[in-house]
Chains A and B, each alone.
Chain A
Amino acid sequence: MPVGRRAVLGTGTAAVFIAGVAPGPDAAAGETRGEATVATVTVELHVNGASHRLTLDPRTTLLDALREHLALTGSKKGCDHGQCGACTVLLDGRRINACLTLAVLHDGQPVTTIEGLADGETLHPLQAAFIEHDGFQCGYCTSGQICSAAGMLEESRAGMPSFVTADLAEPQPPLTDDEIRERMSGNICRCAAYPNIVAAIRKAAEIRA
């Protein structure tokens, strides 16, 4: 959803409103942004099944809202430019780089982060497979890898083709290792735990198939 900041402030979704142009309550709340004090907006974020009402600088990214305001630090900031995938979360089940989108754009939309993937004590099959196959070394990319893989498996199941899909007419392209690699190429792992990441995703895909 390519929406610029101007568009956000100008049109906003119905639930987003300008909280006041007067100086924010205090600097510690994070409203002082170096220039003058800025306007804030209130947004209702639905994260991992819980609803949170936040008053934010409209420029706050979804990633910062999660990490700094909701203390959900599982999603990582690897680059803050949408280039590494460490911040990947699921929005309505679809993967997105949380550093590239503004929190205020997602009022009322269900967000799932790595912290919300498990079903109580039962790990998501991808989480279990990543442990079983050592799909990490330093772990910094792992939340993003797992969330991205979760979204990717849904895309694949829905029959979305990828760049390496041979037959675009095929309603359900098989999820080969080649497909996994192509579809996961937005998530960088500097430790290059890649072979194990592919193995883990393949395992989880088999379980759910």
Chain B
Amino acid sequence: MSSNIGVSHPHDSAPLHASGTAIYIDDMPEPRALLHAYIGLSTEAHARIVARDLSAVRTAPGVVAVIAAEDVPGVNDIGPSLPGDPIFADDVTEYHGQALFAVAATTREAARAAAALAVIAYEPLPAILTLDEALAREDARVLPSRLIKRGEPETAIARAPHRLRGTLRIGGQDHFYLEGQIAVSQPGEQGDMLIFSSTQNPSEIQHLVARALAVPDHNVVCETRRMGGGFGGKESQAAIPAAISAILAALTKRPVKLRLDRDDDMVLTGKRHPFRIDYDVGFDGSGRIEGIDFVLAGDCGFSPDLSGGINDRAMMHVDNCYFLENISILSHRCKTNTVSNTAFRGFGGPQGIMAIEYVMDEIARHRRRDPLEIRRLNFYGDGPRNVTPYGMAVEDNVIGELVEELARSADYAERLQEVAAFNERSDWIKRGLALVPVKFGISFTAIHLNQAGALVQLYTDGSVLLNHGGTEMGQGLFIKVAQVVAEEFGIPVERVRVSATNTSKVPNTSPTAASAGTDLNAKAAQAAAHAIKQRLAHVAAGEFGVPPTAVIFANGEVIGGRRRMRLAELAKLARMQRVSMSSTGFYATPKIQFDPVSQTGRPFYYFAYGAALAEVEVDGLTGEYRQRRVDILHDCGKSLNPAIDLGQIEGGFVQGAGWLTTEELWWDASGQLRTHAPSTYKIPAIGDLPPIFNTRIYQSGRNRENAIFRSKAVGEPPLNLGIAVFLAIKDAVMAFAASRRPCSLDAPATPERVLMAIERLRAGGAASSDEVPVPGTAAGRPPDAEAAE
């Protein structure tokens, strides 16, 4: 039994976190002559900048440099794959809060005070502020629309015995990583620039900064030891502070630190995409779906950023666990004059899963059945009922068994009755229950990103230094990869040290995203360690007089025949024999391919599964609710580190529940974000936890594919489990209606929105969702949730 794999080693920085000695970028000792930067933000959602008077900024005390678009030495654009994200707005500002200029001064306070002295004259242009407005205008797109279609959805829907149409609006979500965006840039000689950036994507920072500075990539090094949370928010958005600090550093020849204020961070940087989902579904009397049509409108904000991949992933997750034979998924990538929305844990997948789960719930209401029954009925099965709308066979499906196990262990059937009985006798408080299954595709849908590199070095004292392209943001990547390398050398994990991610050690890496950090980087590190081990085996074989294949690495020792020596001794011997003890390793995910034209292929190496059962209680007089109990069963394959994985599952679930319940982004009529601090933007607090919270790893889990030690990715999939809380609230809301009328409830289901839904039901009118504006959809279209049989 290995002491490294499948063992709950604590996070690699655990003692540092508990003692306050982990060094984040803002904690680093400040270099000599450091300047502090502050960004001047636009105060118009869409306007021509007719005059920009920065003279008072320049002459303010302490100011050393002021820059705007014309001062960018190279390209004034940090779009991650497509252009469209200027570092500084030039002639036109496209959202309220866009960067217009930046100041470097001797103190942060001086820089901030100086920035306030700018005089900007705007000529307002027509602004598109809501998703509905954008959807109605075909020119308001950041990217062309896409369609995935299979079978004959129109005919199947029309012929089906029952039909439902409706609209669901889902709000965005701010990442609220507890450590805000930050970068420190240090100029070197001959155009060199060293950037410490809180980023999930150091290689991209290197590349974008080099482009902005008009220097070759080899002049720029980006280093990231750790982030205080990322959640996707530091995948592309970290380039804003990195690029601005680097340009200021190049100009002033002094190091420059740029740490965004929390409020500025929330206004300036992108968020999860709000979605509007229109569905039209036909089904039979038992609730089996015969045909379905989805129109997914994603609010991308003003630029493409990563919106292509995000909307693609939404399209590829509307099937969730269900075989949808006749289906049309039309995806519009809408442009609004709001901040450019970006990656957020799940990358569009959760919006897709939310769409179909909402529909499942509506079908169940319509058929007056237990929603779980409807879900089971529609689950993927054996071929040919196992092919996704994008043509990939689901070969590793465990959702049926997993859901049964959860339903049993959490007493689903009994509790359905208990909840019904409670609701029967309680007028003002109602309870609701929902069991939601999740299937989530693992791999970047941009196939080329599915690669990783690592560098492993063994020293003559037997200690190992490991570097790889992945970044640590709390998810436990570093300890997992260290476990894999330790396993390869047969040494305790303490003998492996993971150093900061650095673009000069491992080049051309992919972002740490798509849950794939461990899958990719652990494989690359394993390959590197393996290469060194092979060389050492030859050295040991010569020494022991056995064939290299007979040499074993275990328990810190190297064994061959009757002889053994410590790894450190062998390393010394290898050095004497002039054998290299450093190696790179590389990994590219096999099997995956996707044809963007036909929208078919195998975009995912495998799927991760999970399910959550949530029970809530809703107060009919206030709309307030609380979670009473949550049970989760989640598939991590053969978990590399159960403690780390459990943390990801619980954390993901809570974040998903927050997204759909209390986290409301609210823009005013001028396009200004008004919820830009934790006082108004409510992320889940410790008191929001359900008092009974059972999380378990699915013990029969095993990755069918040859992922690292048969484990599965765990970063994003559990976020989707939060949908259970939303649907449990919806279930409770429905219980307030005497007759089981359809009730639309948009997300986030804030107490306000819940109360409105209850009031509508009480008033007896058709429930609609129009009273409370969803972020980005203030001018919502008339409701069209209706039974159209």
Q: What is the CB-to-nearest-CB distance from A137 to chain B, in angstroms, rounded to a whole number?
A: 4
A79 touches B678 (CB 8 A): yes
Q: Contacting chain B: which of A8-16, A26-34, A100-108?
A: A26-34
Which of B61, B228, B689 contacts A34 (CB under 8 A)?
B61
Total A residues in contact with B, Cβ cutoff 8 Å: 62
Q: Contacting chain B: which of A39-47, A153-161, A191-199?
A: A191-199
Instruction: Tell me the B686-731 residues at the A interface (CB within 8 Å).
Output: 686-687, 689, 691, 693, 695
Q: What is the CB-to-nearest-CB distance from A82 to chain B, in angstroms, rounded to a whole number?
A: 9
A27 touches B227 (CB 8 A): no
A185 to B109, CA, bound (A): 31
In the complex, whether B110 has a CB less than 8 A from a CB of chain A is: yes
Interfacial chain A residues near B26, Cβ < 8 Å: 67, 73, 76-77
In the complex, whether A21 has a CB less than 8 A from a CB of chain B is: no
A128 to B19, CA, bound (A): 9
In the complex, whether B13 has a CB less than 8 A from a CB of chain A is: yes
A194 to B61, CA, bound (A): 45
A138 touches B179 (CB 8 A): yes
In the complex, whether A174 has a CB less than 8 A from a CB of chain B is: no
In the complex, whether A111 has a CB less than 8 A from a CB of chain B is: no
**Interface size bracket, B side:** 35 or more
Interfacial chain B residues near A139, Cβ < 8 Å: 11, 13, 16-17, 22, 226, 228, 474
Provided the pairs A32-B62, A34-B60, A79-B677 are in contact, do residues A194 and B107 lie with their beta carbons within 8 angstroms? no
B19 touches A73 (CB 8 A): no
In the complex, whether B214 has a CB less than 8 A from a CB of chain A is: no
Instruction: Tell me the A107-156 residues at the B interface (CB within 8 Å).
Output: 113-115, 117-118, 123, 127-128, 130-131, 134-143, 146
Provided the pairs A127-B19, A192-B650 are in contact, do residues A137 and B179 lie with their beta carbons within 8 angstroms? no
A196 to B651, CA, bound (A): 10
A178 to B687, CA, bound (A): 8
In the complex, whether A90 has a CB less than 8 A from a CB of chain B is: no
Interfacial chain A residues near B356, Cβ < 8 Å: none
Interfacial chain A residues near B13, Cβ < 8 Å: 139
In the complex, whether A181 has a CB less than 8 A from a CB of chain B is: yes
B18 touches A113 (CB 8 A): no
Instruction: Tell me the B1-50 residues at the A interface (CB within 8 Å).
Output: 10-11, 13-24, 26-27, 29
Tally A-B pairs: CB < 8 A: 194
A77 to B26, CA, bound (A): 9
Provided the pairs A28-B106, A33-B109, A115-B20 are in contact, do residues A131 and B677 lie with their beta carbons within 8 angstroms? no
A191 touches B651 (CB 8 A): yes
Closest-by-CB residue of B relative to A113 is B20
A196 to B8, CA, bound (A): 14
A27 touches B62 (CB 8 A): yes
In the complex, whether B473 has a CB less than 8 A from a CB of chain A is: yes
A73 to B61, CA, bound (A): 27
Closest-by-CB residue of A relative to B174 is A190
Closest-by-CB residue of B relative to A30 is B107
A27 to B113, CA, bound (A): 15
Interfacial chain B residues near A77, Cβ < 8 Å: 26
Interfacial chain A residues near B677, Cβ < 8 Å: 79, 81, 83
Which of A123, A190, A197 contacts B176 (CB under 8 A)?
A190
A194 to B652, CA, bound (A): 12
Which of B60, B114, B178 contacts A141 (CB under 8 A)?
B178
Interfacial chain B residues near A86, Cβ < 8 Å: 178
Interfacial chain B residues near A80, Cβ < 8 Å: 261-262
A143 touches B474 (CB 8 A): no
Q: Select the residue from B18, B112, B228, B647 with max chain A CB neighbours within 10 A.
A: B18
A76 touches B228 (CB 8 A): yes
In the complex, whether B476 has a CB less than 8 A from a CB of chain A is: yes
In the complex, whether B644 has a CB less than 8 A from a CB of chain A is: yes
B17 touches A83 (CB 8 A): no
A135 to B61, CA, bound (A): 44
B107 touches A137 (CB 8 A): no
Q: What is the CB-to-nearest-CB distance from B475 to chain A, in angstroms, rounded to a whole number?
A: 7
Closest-by-CB residue of B relative to A82 is B679
Which of A79, A130, A137, A194 contacts B476 (CB under 8 A)?
A137
Which of A75, A115, A137, A138 contacts B21 (CB under 8 A)?
A115
Could you list which residues of chain B lie within 8 angstroms of chain A, going by C-beta atoms? 10-11, 13-24, 26-27, 29, 60-62, 105-107, 109-114, 175-180, 226-231, 261-262, 473-476, 643-644, 647-648, 650-651, 653-655, 677-679, 683-687, 689, 691, 693, 695
A sample of 7 more A-B contacts (CB under 8 A), given A131-B15, A190-B655, is A32-B107, A33-B61, A76-B178, A134-B644, A138-B228, A185-B686, A191-B178
Could you list which residues of chain A lie within 8 angstroms of chain B, going by C-beta atoms? 27-28, 30, 32-37, 67, 71, 73-81, 83-84, 86, 113-115, 117-118, 123, 127-128, 130-131, 134-143, 146, 177-178, 181-182, 184-185, 187-198
A-B contacts, 22 of them at CB < 8 A, read A35-B61, A36-B61, A73-B24, A86-B178, A117-B19, A123-B18, A128-B18, A131-B15, A134-B14, A136-B18, A139-B11, A140-B228, A185-B686, A188-B683, A191-B647, A192-B650, A193-B651, A194-B650, A194-B684, A195-B650, A196-B647, A198-B686
